[in-house]
Structure 1
């Protein structure tokens, strides 16, 4: 990865694209730190940072802007939602399906529809976010014409910030390198890792305090989080937490390698094209393959599942539901550290993975295209047998991909329960970071190959 970046910097065209992309990312980070007037977001920090809350998940995607109620608080969330909605409607509505099949012009129209849909979603989310801020007494003016003016400024600022991010992502697509929206999400997630050195330092200090205390520690359970204190009241950790720390480091490295291998892995279905004579020339006869990626749906099933499973925890945080009543007990089943949460989370990932693959791949269409082009899978007859074979292969690959996503998504939860340590880089974040890094590296290599710089890739 770093070697590819270094070699790409030597090419003038690629260097301009990289500089342009970096400038856009800097503008994005400035917008994340730019406060919206008439707001005091301090009262939101506890609710937004609650583990397992959908607000905490949105805050992760926005790079911390959501918790601080800054200009880019909504980030790319409206655009992602609009893209998912339009993609699903493209399968369900014939007019959109025809547009998708019209080539470049159809894609431009669909992109325009997606932008308009994203603007509508951004306005709705901005109003909902304002209502949440108002309920938490984070708005300075709430009465009279001043309240109406403050509401209009806040809602329009959030909406405009979201549309500006959408435009910045499109500029990266046109003049930069990589996928613009993905790179902005990547920048937001990576920026939150800046607190990791301080976290590690505090953890090491806690280990030292634990050694000095000689094991005489007080264990407290604060909202499901286990806290250890010395007799002097300073934070401490037992000696065996060193093993936990080593285990976390090993698992993080193994997870990165696992994600890279599975993201790049694919099942290749061999295809043989028959020879045919046209005039005096012979065409066909070559052997090729149909690549089917193990992780065909990417991070989308995890995003869908995270959004749904975190709704009960978000409701519990917003309305501050406590006690032993029905709703408190029911919402308690969806505690981030609970077994029920992990099981439902895994089942949702499995279901969404199958659903997303089903709308992406059409085995009947693939089999028909092979027949039209005089192609066939060796040992499989054209027509329905080819369709059945592709369906069987897709089913196996989809299950393997779903298991992979479940392992990556649930690993931070399991490790956190065992060690009582908050894992900074969760499964969704890891998939996004690794996926964007690999995709950007592939694009850089493609640009260099097109310019025949073979020596750079050796």
Structure 2
């Protein structure tokens, strides 16, 4: 491990990328602490200090923003609007023929889709920023704080427009910083910003476990949370690395006097083929009814029922619904991102076949069967990893930020970044050897 770090700093290209990435991260964290105009900073800090947790209705957004949402800062929405826009465009690619044609055009078409994603990100930022300002003004952002009503002292239209535009501009700036990391830094920029946002909440969450723990003055709760966290990390690493390798054999072909083909390769199908997307889908879907109930000013029975059952993350009805939605979206996302018929057609066109399986339709049916068998344990794993740590940590007290979603994202992004660094180190070593 130490030799790898030394080699990173000895390589000029990697060292330059590393320092550039660290500089972008510093700018991102600074922007997460700059309040937007029109907000009473003193009242916000009073309510944040008095808040017992950051979960519930806006917990996911606050998690992905590194705590900037409750601070109502310039980067309050973080990278979540871009994630939502990317997922929406990916889903629409299957539905809209024009987007599907752009996807097949290669880098040019992908650039167009990326541009549409940016436009949709800004639109979502304006929409979510309006909701955030309205929530802060109504006092619902901190329902148990007496100073919540004075967070936005000025309720004029001009102040509201300035606040919404500032939040939208901050989201666009975060998107630009993420693209800069992707182009000139290390790893995927958007994933890296999510990693930093979530990791920044961990020290405070662990300290809260020590002070608010329910077992042995907090120290035993702290130790139990750390052990559960390490167990979840080991489980995530094991499952994320697990894959089913389907062998593919290519027949030999004689072209002139030369022989081509005859090689053997494999199709890697991961157990968790959907990644963390189903968790984000399920969280976003559960966020909507609670948001509608919050802005409905009537005392209807349905609004009271939703508020009682969908705001608390450890409520049994919320947990069951969350788990079922994760399983459903895992199957749904895998079905639209992996097309067995398309893969079977590409294998047949290249002159390949799966040993023991006929090319064409039988190959597609076999790939669909294997993928369905893999998605079941993958979806159950996602549901457990998203819910079990949340329920376990809640029982120890003060660990509302240490959710299974945060652990899953941190470990996944960390492993992917390490792989990219290792590949660049190997590339530099090969270049040096050839020289």
Q: Tell me the TM-score normalised to structure 2 length.
A: 0.89
Match status 1:166 vs 2:142: no
1:62 is matched with which residue: 65, 75, 80? Answer: 65
Higher radius of gyration, 1 or 2: 1
CA distance in 2, matches of 1:152, 1:201: 42
SS at match of 1:96: helix
Question: Which of 389, 394, 414 is equivalent to 1:412?
Answer: 389
Can you list the C-alpha shifts for 1:150-174, whole angstroms capped at 9, x where unaligned?
A: 2222111111100001111111111
Is the Cα–Cα contact under 8 Å of residues 225 and 393 in structure 2 kept in the other structure?
no
Q: Which whole-Å CA distance do the structure 1 matches of 2:298 and 2:103 have between them?
A: 46
Q: Does 1:374 align with 2:377?
A: no
Distance 1:293 1:281 in 2: 36
Match of 1:87 among 63, 86, 90: 90
| Aligned equivalent of 1:268 | 245
**Are residue 202 (structure 1) and residue 215 (structure 2) matched?**
no
Change (3 A) 1:271 1:49: farther
- Distance change >3 Å, CA 290–CA 375, structure 1 → 2: same
Aligned to 2:12: 12
Q: 1:418 to 1:189 in 2, by over 3 A?
A: closer
Structure 2: tracts of 5 or more residues without a match: 140-148
| 284-293 or 417-426, larger mean C-alpha shift | 417-426
The answer to whether the 8 Å contact 1:65/1:72 transfers is yes
Separation in 2 of the partners of 1:313 and 1:189?
23
For the 8 Å contact 1:166–1:181, the answer to whether it is kept is yes
Residue 402 of structure 1 deviates from its aligned partner by: 0.6
Identify which of 129, 152, 173 aligns with 1:139. 152
Give yes or no for contact 2:54–2:62 (8 Å, CA) kept in 1.
no
Partners of 2:366 and 2:182 in 1: CA distance: 37
- Which stretches in structure 1 are left out of the alignment for 5+ residues? 207-236
Q: What SS class does the counterpart of residue 451 from structure 1 fall into?
A: helix
Counterpart Cα distance in 2 of 1:164 and 1:49: 31
State the SS of the aligned residue for 2:76. Answer: coil
- CA distance in 2 between counterparts of 1:272 and 1:238 reads 58
Question: Over the residues paired in the alignment, what is the CA RMSD in angstroms?
Answer: 2.7
Instruction: From the superposition, tell whether residues 91 and 48 of structure 1 become closer, same or farther in structure 2 (CA, over 3 Å).
Output: farther
Q: What is the aligned length?
A: 419
**Judging changes above 3 Å, is the alpha-carbon distance between structure 1 residues 93 and 162 closer, same or farther for their aligned structure 2 residues?**
same
How far, CA to CA, are the matches of 1:49 and 1:85 in structure 2?
33
DSSP 3-state at the match of 2:200: helix
Q: 1:48·1:55 contact (CA, 8 Å) conserved in 2?
A: no
Q: Alignment partner of 1:333: what SS?
A: helix
Partner of 2:146: none
Q: Aligned residue for 1:216?
A: none
CA shift for structure 1 position 246: 4.2
Q: Indicate how the Cα distance of structure 1 residues 320 and 21 shifts in structure 2: closer, same or farther if over 3 A, else same.
A: farther
CA distance in 2, matches of 1:430, 1:18: 23
CA-to-aligned-CA distance 1:298-317 (integer Å, 9 cap, x gap): 11111111222244455566
**Which digits, 9 at most, give the CA deviation of each residue in 1:116-156, with x for residues without a partner?**
111111122222222222222422222xxxx2332222111
Q: How far is 1:194 from its partner? A: 2.7
Indicate how the Cα distance of structure 1 residues 50 and 254 shifts in structure 2: closer, same or farther if over 3 A, else same: closer
Using the alignment, how far apart are the partners of 1:119 and 1:421 within structure 2?
34
Partner of 2:321: 344
Which range is displaced more, 98-107 or 189-198? Answer: 189-198
